[in-house]
Amino acid sequence: MEATVRKEKPMGSWLGRGLLGLCAALTLAATAAVARADVLSDGTAAILVVPKIVVNSELHIDTLIRISNRSDDPVRLWCFYTNATPVCTNGTGNCLPGHRFADLEPCTPSTACQQQWQEVDFHVVLTQHQPVAWLASVGAIDCRRLPNQTGIDPDLDNNPPCFPLDGIFRLGEGGQSNLGSNVPPVAQDPFIGELKCVTVNEDDEPQARNDVYGNVTILGGSKVDTDVSGYNIIGIQALENNDGDKTLVLGRAGDEGVEYNGCPNILILDHFFDFAEDPITGVPVITDLTLVPCSEDFLHQQTFPTTTQFLVFNEFEQRFSTSRRVECFRDIQLSNIDTNTPTRSIFSAQVAGTLTGQTRIRGVVGSDPAYGNTLIGIAEEFRPAGTASVNLHAQGVRPQKDYIYLPPF
Amino acid sequence: MGRMCGHRFRFEFLALALLGALVTTPARAEVTTEKSSSILIYPKLLFNNYLDTVIQLSNTSNSIIYAHCFYVDARLTNPELPPGPLNPRIWQEVDFDLTLTKQQPTHWVISEGRSTDPFDPTCDNTNQSCNDAGFDPGRIPPVSPGFEGELKCIEVDQSGAPISGNHMKGEATLITRAPLIIGAPLVAGDASKYNAIGIIGLDSNDSNTVLCLGGGVTPQCPAGAEYEGCPNVVLLSNYAEFTSSPLLQEFFDPPTPSVVNTELTIVPCAQDFETQTPSRVRVQFAIYNEFEEPFSTSTTVTCWGNFTLAQVNSVLTVGSLGTRFVQTQLRPAGTDPGFIAIQEEFHRQYDTDPIELFPASRVAFNTHVIGERPLTDLIIIPEGP
C-alpha cells in the first residue's frame, strides 16, 4: 500500500511537472501566436488595405495595383472599392483634395463639394504563387476577352494587365485558375478612394490565411517627365480563431471575439515641413497625408467619423498640435490640416522653423466605446519634378475593437 | 518503474518538444519597416554627380536617446569596371554618434553631413531654406563623392553600450540632381523614398559589442538572441525586366513604348566592423510568373550588392518569363547569413525612330518578408574607449 502511494506520488509529480511543462509550452505558444499577428506593410496578411487610389486621365494619373499569393494554395479575395471622390454640385470645378490637384480650377464655393462614399465589390482569385495586377482606370478581365486577342496571349506589351489563367483553355499547375476574377474599372474618372480586400473561401466566408501581399504604383506627369511613386499595400493579419462570419473583428490578440490584429494606436509620420526647400534641389516640398478608418461598414454604408489628433514636433523638440475629422477617407495637404492659409500652418516650414518634423497621428475614441476609431494611412511627398510615397510607422494597439462589416451574400 | 520513467519521459519530452518547437518555429520576422527599433539599416545610399540622399531619423520616445552609426562605403575598387573577384567593394566604414532629445526628428544630406552650429538659420516668412536648423544631433561626417553603400545606426546608452530601447525610426530619400546623360537618364529633381529597415531589440541584450540577431545560445551569444532575427524569405512583387509599363503606355495614342527595370539592393545581416571582414551571402531566387510557372537562379553578394534583376540572370527578363508581373522569393543558401533588401523601379518611355530614351522616374519599395531565420547573424562593432 505504502509502496503504491510512493509509486503514485512521484508519478503524480512527474505528471504534474509534465502537465505544467505542457501548460507553459501552450501558454508560450499562445503568446507567440499573439505576438506574430500584426498590421503591417512588410509582411503577408489576410486583409489588404490600399488607402489611396487616384485616377485622372486628363492629368495622365492612374494607379496600378499589384497583389501576389505567396502560398501553394489558391487564394480568393473579396475586394471593395470605396469611391470617396467629392463632386462639385455647382458646376465642373475641382473638388479633389490634395496637392496633386491643387492647380485645377476649384469648385466654388468650396461648400458645394459633396463627399461621396460608395462601395463596389468584386472578386479576384490568385493561383499558387501567382502575381496579378490591374490598372484602377481599366480593371482586369480574362486575357482572352481582351480585344484583338488570338488565343492565350499573356499579360504582355500592348495589353492592359489581365488574368491569364482562364480555367478553360489555360490552367495552372494542379488545375488552379483565375476563374471568377473580374475587376471593374473604378466608378468614375477622376476618382479618388480606397480599396480593401479580404481573404475568403468559395462561400465568401472570411478565412484566417495570411498569404497575400502587394504594392501600389501611382503614375503622373508627362511623356518626357514621367513621375511614378508607390507604396506597399497595408496588411492586417488574421488570428486563428476566425468564425467566418461577415463581421470582421479587429483588436488586441487574445481579446474575446477578436479575429484579426488591431490597427495601430498611433501612426507616426516623419516629414518635411511644407514649403521647406529641399536641401538637394532647392525646390519646395509638399506632403499629402491620406487616412482611412480601420472600421468600415459595407453592409449599412455607414461611416465612422473619427476626430484625429496631430502632435507635431520640429527639430528643436518644440511641440504643436491640431486636430481634424476623418469621416470615411481623408486626403489632405499637411499644411491644410489646421488652416486654409497653408503658410500659417504648424505644418509649414515658416511656422515650424526647421526642415523636418515628426507627427504623431491618433484617432480619438468616440462616444461609442465599441469602436476603436483607429486609422491607417500613407503619405506622398511632392516636389515639382517628382513624387515619393511612404508607408507610415505604427505604435501600439488599443483595447477597443474595430469592425469591418461585409454584405451578407 | 520502467513505466513511470516512460511516463516521465513522455510528458517531459512532450513539453520540451513543444518548447523546442516554439523556439525553432519561424515566427514573423521582426525586421520591420514600420515600427520603432534598436537597429536601423538604410540599405541604399548614393552620392554621385546625379544623385544624393537625405536621411531622416527620429526618436519616438519621451526620453533622450543615443545612437552609434556606421556608414559603409561599398564602392568598387575600380568603379569603371564591373564587380568581381578582382574588383571587390572596398567596404570601408566610418562611424559617428547621435543624440536625439525626446520625440526629436533630425535629418542630414549625406554629401554634406551635419555640423554643430546653434546659429543655423531657421525657416521663417522670408526664408524657406533651413537645412541645418534644429538641435544638431551631433557632428555627422559627409561621405565622399562616388559613395554607394549603407548606413547602420545602433541604439546605445550614454556610455556607448548597445541597448534594446526600440526608439528609432527613419527614412531615406534618393533625389536626382541632374539628368543622367548616358544610358539611363533620370528625371531631374525626381525622388524615391523608403523606410529604414529596423531590427527590434530584445530584453536579453547583454550590451556587449557582439550583437546577436536571432538564433539560440551560442558561444558568442551566451544569452541567446539579443535582437530579432533576419527574415527567412524576402518577397518581391516586381516587373519582369525590360517589360513595358502599363501605366505609361495607356495615356498616349499611339501607345509609346516604355520599359521598366528593377534594381535590387542587398545587405547581409552579419557584419564585422571590428575586423572589417565583409560577409558573403549566396542568394537563391525562386521566381513565379503570372502562369505560376516557377523559375530559379542565384547570385552572390559580398558586403553589399546593388544590381538590376537582369544582371542577376536573363531568366528574370520578360523574354524568359513571358509575363509582365512576377513574384520573386529570395532566400539565403544553406547556412549563409541572412540579408535584407529594398527594390527600386525605373520607369521610362522611349521613341523608336530615332531611338531616344526619355528620363526614367524612380520608385522605391520596401520588400516584404516572411519568417525568422533559425540561425544567428552577428554584428560585431568596434570596442569603445
The pLDDT tens digits of the residues spanning A322-380 come to 999 998 899 999 999 999 999 999 999 999 999 999 999 999 998 776 678 999 999 99
Q: Is A274 in a helix, a strand, or coil?
A: strand
Query: The C-alpha cell of B144 is what?
Result: 565622399
Instruction: Please judge whether B105 and A358 are an interchain contact, meaning their C-beta atoms are less than 8 angstroms apart.
Output: yes
Averaged confidence pLDDT in chain B: 87
Task: Name chain B contacts of A178, Cβ cutoff 8 Å.
Answer: none
Q: Which of B137, B201, B196 is nearest to B166 (CA)?
A: B201
Residue A2 lies in a domain: no
Averaged confidence pLDDT in chain A: 86
Instruction: Please judge whether B177 and A164 are an interchain contact, meaning their C-beta atoms are less than 8 angstroms apart.
Output: no
Percent of chain A with pLDDT over 90: 63
List phi, psi (to 5°) of A282: 80, 5
Instruction: Please judge whether A273 and B322 are an interchain contact, meaning their C-beta atoms are less than 8 angstroms apart.
Output: no
Tell me the C-alpha distance between A393 and B168, whole Å.
Answer: 11
Instruction: Please judge whether A283 and B189 are an interchain contact, meaning their C-beta atoms are less than 8 angstroms apart.
Output: yes
Q: By the 8 A CB rule, do A247 and A234 touch?
A: no
Q: Using the structure block, give the residue that is written with the C-alpha cell 508627362.
A: A222
Q: Rounded to a whole number, what is the distance in Å from the CA of B349 to chain A's nearest CA?
A: 7
Q: Is the pLDDT of residue A318 over 60?
A: yes
Q: Is the pLDDT of residue A11 over 50?
A: no
CB atoms within 10 A of CB A305: 11
Q: Which amino acid is at A406?
A: L
Query: Mean pLDDT, to the nearest integer, of B219-230?
Result: 94
Task: Name chain A contacts of B104, Cβ cutoff 8 Å.
Answer: 313, 315, 317, 358
Domain residue extents for chain B:
31-207, 231-380
Burial of A365 (0-12, 13-18, 19+ CB in 10 A): middle
Query: The C-alpha cell of B348 is what?
Result: 521610362
What is the ipTM score, two decimals? 0.89
If you measure CA to CA, which chain A residue comes closest to B51? Answer: A280
Instruction: Please judge whether A314 and B363 are an interchain contact, meaning their C-beta atoms are less than 8 angstroms apart.
Output: no
Q: pLDDT tens, A371-389? A: 789 999 999 999 988 899 9
Tell me, what's the pLDDT at A169?
85
If you measure CA to CA, which chain B residue comes closest to A318? Answer: B104
Residue A312 at interface with chain B, using a CB cutoff of 8 Å: no
Residue A30 at interface with chain B, using a CB cutoff of 8 Å: no
Q: Identify which of B25, B169, B361 has the shortest CB distance to residue A228.
A: B361
Q: By the 8 A CB rule, do B209 and B382 touch?
A: yes
Task: Name chain B contacts of A36, Cβ cutoff 8 Å.
Answer: 27-28
Instruction: Please judge whether A226 and B349 are an interchain contact, meaning their C-beta atoms are less than 8 angstroms apart.
Output: yes
List phi, psi (to 5°) of A344: -100, 5
Residue A263 lies in a domain: yes
Percent of chain B with pLDDT over 70: 88
Q: Rounded to a whole number, what is the distance in Å from the CA of B57 to chain A's nearest CA?
A: 8
Task: Name chain B contacts of A343, Cβ cutoff 8 Å.
Answer: 125
Q: pLDDT tens, A124-177? A: 999 999 999 999 999 999 888 877 665 444 555 567 888 999 888 889 888 999
- Give me the domain span that covers residue A333: 38-140+181-405
Least confident residue range of A12-16, A48-52, A195-199, B124-128: A12-16
Q: Rounded to a whole number, what is the distance in Å from the CA of A389 to chain B's nearest CA?
A: 7
Residue A213 at interface with chain B, using a CB cutoff of 8 Å: yes
Cβ neighbours for A56, distance < 8 A, ≥ 6 positions apart: A96, A101, A189, A190, A191
Tell me, what's the pLDDT at A10?
35
Specify whether domain B231-380 bears CATH 2.60.290.11: yes
Which residues 61-100 of chain B have a CB within 8 Å of chain A? none
Q: How confident is the model at residue A404 (pLDDT cuts 50, 70, 90)?
A: very high
CB atoms within 10 A of CB B275: 8
Query: Mean pLDDT, to the nearest integer, of B140-159?
Result: 96
Query: Mean pLDDT, to the nearest integer, of B237-265?
Result: 83
List phi, psi (to 5°) of A224: -85, -45
Q: Which amino acid is at A238?
A: A
Residue A163 lies in a domain: no
Q: By the 8 A CB rule, do A371 and A330 touch?
A: no
Count the helix, strand and coil residues of chain B and give each as a percent rounded to the nearest 5: 10, 45, 45
Residue A152 lies in a domain: no
Instruction: Please judge whether A213 and B33 are an interchain contact, meaning their C-beta atoms are less than 8 angstroms apart.
Output: no
Look at A302 and B150; give whichever has higher pLDDT.
B150
Tell me the C-alpha distance between A136 and A133, whole Å.
Answer: 10
Residue A205, CA atoms < 13 Å, CB-side half-sphere: 5
Task: Name chain A contacts of B247, Cβ cutoff 8 Å.
Answer: 62, 64, 135, 217, 219, 228
Residue A275 lies in a domain: yes
Crossing angle of helices A2-36/B2-24, nearest 10°?
A: 10
> How many separate domains does chain A show?
1
Instruction: Please judge whether A22 and B290 are an interchain contact, meaning their C-beta atoms are less than 8 angstroms apart.
Output: no
Q: Which of B104, B232, B213 is nearest to B154 (CA)?
A: B213
Q: Identify which of A44, A225, A270 has the shortest CB distance to residue B370.
A: A44
Q: Which of A33, A35, A134 is nearest to A397 (CA)?
A: A35
Q: Is the pLDDT of residue A72 over 90?
A: yes
Q: Is the peptide bond before A109 cis (omega within 30 degrees of 0)?
A: yes
